[in-house]
């Protein structure tokens, strides 16, 4: 069975990973979760380990330690923060998550990223350039600037839902 690394960055949608992981498993993926340091704050690592059978990794291992995860065939970054999108497009590997994603891109593995910036960050020139760069490299970036709510929107209004269905569809469309 193919192996999917789900990379979780620091954002509220990371708390909803179990349902996405279950959907990917039903579709025949072996799922491993990797979190950025801030991503760990939003998810239940113990529950995800129980669900996947693999520990949630967030730090580089020591060179003499065995790798506890099987090699990845594909990657999903959900949610992908402004910081991670920009660092990934610059080739920065200062976290395990970014290092694995950069290796995946270099090896030609499919990568699907779902950024969730606010309107100010989504309009930042570096972010727009990073999205273009990642797409040029073959990364599927599920991002529609029109879906970002304005800064002056009513705080009582819920933000738009995270596009889990679109992400699931994009994952299903990957060749295996």
On whether the CB atoms of residues 1 and 74 are closer than 8 A, the answer is no
Q: What is the mean pLDDT of residues 150-167?
A: 76
- Phi and psi at 59, nearest 5°, equal -130, 155
The tokens describing 70, both together, are: 């099987």
Question: Residue 160: pLDDT band by 50, 70, 90 thresholds?
Answer: confident
Residue 159 has pLDDT above 80, yes or no: no
Look at 156 and 10; give whichever has higher pLDDT.
10
Percent of the chain with pLDDT over 90: 85
What's the pLDDT at 70? 98
Please count the structural domains in the chain: 1
Question: Residue 157: pLDDT band by 50, 70, 90 thresholds?
Answer: low
What's the pLDDT at 156? 61
Residue 152 has pLDDT above 80, yes or no: no
**Mean pLDDT rounded to a whole number for the chain:** 94
The tokens describing 140, both together, are: 């599927």
What's the pLDDT at 161? 84
Nearest to 104 by CA among 49, 162, 174, 169: 174
Question: Residue 176: pLDDT band by 50, 70, 90 thresholds?
Answer: confident
Question: Residue 119: pLDDT band by 50, 70, 90 thresholds?
Answer: confident
Residue 23 has pLDDT above 80, yes or no: yes
Domain with residue 19: its CATH number is 3.40.50.1950
Residue 77 has pLDDT above 90, yes or no: yes
What's the pLDDT at 151? 67
Q: Which residues, in sequence order, are bridge partners of residue 165?
A: none
Residue 155 has pLDDT above 80, yes or no: no
CA distance 108 to 143: 21
Residue range(s) defining the domain that contains residue 127: 3-172
């Amino acid at each position: 069975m193919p192996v999917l690394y789900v990379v979780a960055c620091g954002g509220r949608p990371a708390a909803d990973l179990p349902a996405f992981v279950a959907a990917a498993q039903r579709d025949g993926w072996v799922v491993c979760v990797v979190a950025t340091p801030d991503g760990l704050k939003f998810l239940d690592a113990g529950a995800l380990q129980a669900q996947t059978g693999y520990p949630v990794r967030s730090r580089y291992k020591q060179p003499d330690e065995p790798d506890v995860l099987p090699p990845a065939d594909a990657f999903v970054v959900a949610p992908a923060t402004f910081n991670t999108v920009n660092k990934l497009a610059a080739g920065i590997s200062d976290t395990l998550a970014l290092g694995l994603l950069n290796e995946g891109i270099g090896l030609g593995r499919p990568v699907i990223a779902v950024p969730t910036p606010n309107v100010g960050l989504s309009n930042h020139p570096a972010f727009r350039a990073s999205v273009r760069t990642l797409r040029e490299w073959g990364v599927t970036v599920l991002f529609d600037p029109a879906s970002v709510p304005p800064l002056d929107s009513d705080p009582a209004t819920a933000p738009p839902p995270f596009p889990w269905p679109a992400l699931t569809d994009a994952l299903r469309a990957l060749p295996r």
